[in-house]
Structure 1
Amino acid sequence: MATALAVPILALALSGCASFSPDGGMDAVNRATQARTGAATTLLRTEHDRNALAEQLKPMLAQPLGADDAVRIALLNNRALQATYWELGIAEADLVQAGRLQNPAFGYQHKRGGGSTSIERSLAVNLANLLTAPLAVRMERGRFEQAQLRVTSEALKTAAETRRAYYEAVGAAQAVEYAKQVAGAADASAELAQRMRKAGNWSAFDQAREAAFYAEAMADVARASSAASAARERLTRLLGLAGTEGGYRLPERLPELPAAAPELADVEQAALRERLDVRAAAKEAEHTAASLGLTRATRFINVLELGALREREGGEPVQRGYEVTLEIPLFDWGTARTRRAEAVYMQAVNRVAETAVNARSEAREAYFAWRTAYDLARHYRDVVIPLRKQLSDETLLRYNGMLLSTFELLADAREQRVAVAAAIDALKEYWIADAGLEAALGGRPHGAAAAGDKPNEANKPNEANKPNEASQPNKPNKPDQTTGSTQHNAHGAHP
């Protein structure tokens, strides 16, 4: 009997053995991430992998960092994301374990007394585990696929956060540079006002006004510098950089605003189709449904063991047989376990609905914010800044014609400062909204990608990226400290 039982048990055990995949499930994560972000990712398993990555980052960090390069670095070097990748190893280990049968139990008894000796040997296997193994494997495979979706979703979330932090950092640094330009002009104005006051050409009121403007300009520089430092540190954390790597350079300016922003058709359906959190919630519901089926199948039979016996007593012939151990559902009929599984399943069903509702709402919200940010930035570029430049030019002409005072010219420069700072902020908010739309739709929207310049190209501080002089305001005017006249820069300054 023992031999008869051993053969099928051994065959089932061998067929139930599962093995680990070479990539640990990361290949699917990498493909999905690359398709949605354009950047590859991988799990750094050894110190050799990390050293190789450090060498790979050196040329990227040696030049001004573009948005796409920032995403590439974050997907490879962010330690929190690397920790998330190891969830796949845990899920795959559970899957492999589910495909392996429990080890058989071997029993041995040796009894002696009354001049006789009794020896009993037994070999038992968990038959319930054997019968439910296929369903358990399917459940764990579902968990593994769900883990892949969850890990990929975290990778996309990190990519979107990195883009937002990148544009925040570049925009903040650009604001600092402009604030310093304004402060330099205000310094010259304050010094001129002091000299003219000593010469008796200005009142104490006018001189105090210029001194106050300079003091406020220096405070603006301090505030902008603090905001830029915080934005850069947020980006550094997402990139996972430390030590000398933290000295990376950013472009001097934000990318130019796209020429047009296309209408994106049906963003709600795009979100439901592409967002991985929606897919993960659906997988969770499938998994809990399978778990409910297993619970119902085993509600009465929780322990079922089959064993082979071999007994020899004294000089008697060897006795062979089998033993079945079955739990009797006398006190626990499995009702509580079934009710619990049903409750967990209904939880999952409602979470799927919640995730879908949230995805549609977030897609609408992100698209509206993106479109509004584009319209506002374009309004500053095409209307406000050209009008401010025209007004500045007219003010200068009237000043040169002795129709306006130096104070009125300086007042115009102060008003121009506000418009330029707002234009920089509007452009920054557009690119941040673009990254937010990417996250809300589960990947970079094709319309937004086609409309915008590639950040890693547009961000390079070269002549091609300088704005059209006809649409830009003048630099803050620096009054001549000797004559009291104002030097006019014929070319527009970058905002």
Structure 2
Amino acid sequence: MNRTFHPPLTSVAVLASILLLGGCASFSADGGMTDVSALTRERTGQVVERTRPEDAAARDATLDPLLAQPLSADTAVRIALLNNSGLQASLSELGIAEADLVQAGRLRNPGISFGRLRGGEDVEIERSIMFDLVGLLTMPMRRGVEQRRFEQAKLQAAADAVKLAADTRRAYFTAVAAQQTVQYMEQVKDAAEAGAELAEGMARAGNWSKLEQAREQAFHADATAQFARARHNANASREQLTRLLGLSGKRTTYALPDRLPELPQAPRDAANIEAQALQQRLDVQVARRNADATASALGLTRTTGFINVFDAGYRNKSQSGSPRSNGYQVELELPLFDWSGAKTTRAEAVYMQSVHRTADIAVRARSQVREAYSAYRTSYDLARHYRDEVVPLRKKISEEMQLRYNGMLASVFELLADARTQIASVNASIEAQRDYWLADTALLQAINGSGDSPLALRGPSSAAE
């Protein structure tokens, strides 16, 4: 016997309402990238975009003009934020978090059952459709938890972008300083080679002792080794920058400036740097949101702790020789063995863990920014000392030695010996200037970014399980 299933109009209305509530969640237009880009721009001055394979042509059109001229630090950061594949992989976490948010706003799919029994001339048919009522009742709370997680994911993505910007600036200044050192060490090597050749000629003529000749040859050999080492360091520093920029092929031939940027006229002010760090640092913001999300997840755990599964739905039964009967069916999980006490206790422990972690991150942030400023100010004073005191004095000594040589009061070898004494001072000056820019980058990261450890997003996910 075949019968057609005709649910009553009230059941149809309830079904339509549930479907409407369960399907209202949708994805945002930008996937959270507007907020991430704004957070990154506030801290680095550069925007960040999520690119796809089909955006390659537009990305290349932006990259090529930037790479056509010697890179500045800001240009290098812009290229890295646009072209670094590791950052793009990190930004994909936004899509995962938003998918979880959308999923939290949708009901679990209903279950439909159909049964048919036949004995002799009698046919009995049962039909039912079940809906997750607990999921419907707790949907706002679940969406709240996932919304907080989505906000955390935005902060994490911005933190990754800020860290990449800082790493790129460090690699940039290191590469420029290494290239500047290579240029200087090449000049030293050429001068040492000329001195060694002159010493060899004068030794053959009997005007130079073997000891003095050996000293010039040793200086030449040492200068040659230092030049080779400096050249390798320059290549390694450049490759590190290239990796951060995400470049390959012909694009690796980009040009760098010959010298590091000049020091600013005055150092940064230390006023309110701790307050700025607590307000601006992304790891502090993530920790705070993590604690809020964990607290929300704890509320959800308590709400669903007693009833884990509660399904209700429409049921219809047809039997041969009898009128069709309609009704409802309820399925409830009985807490006979698991009263969810362990789950609630675990959620409370996870919440306290997130609270203490937030306090720890705040203490670390204040300490790190003080330490970073101390390194910044020391490196600024040292770089200025070399610029204003050491290098000018060495230059004056060199000029005086040149005057003595022109007046035939000093030999060419005395002139070369004076040049050797300048090597350490010039190299130290380059390193001091490089260290200043590295310390400046570290200070900005300590104020705006995060510490050395990655931002933790643990807590809410495990508390709600």
The corresponding residue for 1:462 is none
Of 299, 311, 316, the match for 1:310: 316
Measured in 2, the distance between the counterparts of 1:102 and 1:10 equals 15
Q: CA deviation at 1:2?
A: 5.2
The corresponding residue for 2:61 is 55
Measured in 2, the distance between the counterparts of 1:423 and 1:288 equals 51
Deviates more, 1:14-23 or 1:166-175: 14-23
Measured in 2, the distance between the counterparts of 1:64 and 1:209 equals 40
Gaps of 5+ in 2: 1-6, 451-465
The corresponding residue for 2:136 is 130
SS at match of 1:320: strand
- 1:332 equivalent to 2:346? Answer no
Instruction: Give deviations 1:336-393, integer Å, cap 9, x for gaps.
Output: 1112211221221122122112211211111111111110000000000111112222
The one-letter code sitting in structure 1 at the alignment partner of 2:399 is: D
The corresponding residue for 1:112 is 118
Q: Is the 8 A contact 1:149 1:279 kept in 2?
A: yes
- 1:170 equivalent to 2:176? Answer yes
Deviates more, 1:408-417 or 1:59-68: 408-417
Instruction: State the percentage of identical aligned residues.
Output: 55
Measured in 2, the distance between the counterparts of 1:99 and 1:90 equals 15
Measured in 2, the distance between the counterparts of 1:384 and 1:152 equals 42
The one-letter code sitting in structure 2 at the alignment partner of 1:99 is: G
Question: How does 1:77-88 map onto structure 2 within 5 Å?
Answer: 77-88=83-94
Measured in 2, the distance between the counterparts of 1:171 and 1:2 equals 80
The corresponding residue for 1:140 is 146
Q: Is the 8 A contact 1:118 1:314 kept in 2?
A: yes
Q: Is the 8 A contact 2:163 2:449 kept in 1?
A: no
Deviates more, 1:294-303 or 1:199-208: 199-208
The corresponding residue for 1:280 is 286
Q: Is the 8 A contact 1:2 1:308 kept in 2?
A: no
Question: How does 1:350-369 map onto structure 2 within 5 Å?
Answer: 350-369=356-375
Q: Is the 8 A contact 1:74 1:158 kept in 2?
A: yes
Count of equivalent residues: 443
Find runs of 4+ consecutive structure 1 residues off by over 4 angstroms: none
Q: Is the 8 A contact 1:2 1:309 kept in 2?
A: no
- 1:152 equivalent to 2:153? Answer no
Measured in 2, the distance between the counterparts of 1:217 and 1:286 equals 61
The corresponding residue for 1:183 is 189
Of 100, 104, 107, the match for 1:101: 107
The corresponding residue for 1:217 is 223
User: CA 1:255–1:378 in structure 2 vs 1: closer, same or farther (change >3 Å)?
Assistant: same
Q: CA deviation at 1:394?
A: 2.2
Question: How does 1:82-481 map onto structure 2 within 5 Å?
Answer: 82-442=88-448
Q: CA deviation at 1:167?
A: 0.4
Q: CA deviation at 1:137?
A: 0.6
Q: CA deviation at 1:443?
A: 6.1
Measured in 2, the distance between the counterparts of 1:357 and 1:14 equals 47
Q: Is the 8 A contact 1:206 1:407 kept in 2?
A: no
SS at match of 2:126: strand
Measured in 2, the distance between the counterparts of 1:262 and 1:99 equals 48
The corresponding residue for 1:67 is 73
Measured in 2, the distance between the counterparts of 1:431 and 1:41 equals 23
Of 15, 30, 49, the match for 1:23: 30
Root mean square deviation, CA, Å = 1.6
Measured in 2, the distance between the counterparts of 1:292 and 1:5 equals 34
TM-score normalised over the length of structure 2: 0.92
The corresponding residue for 2:460 is none
The corresponding residue for 2:44 is 37
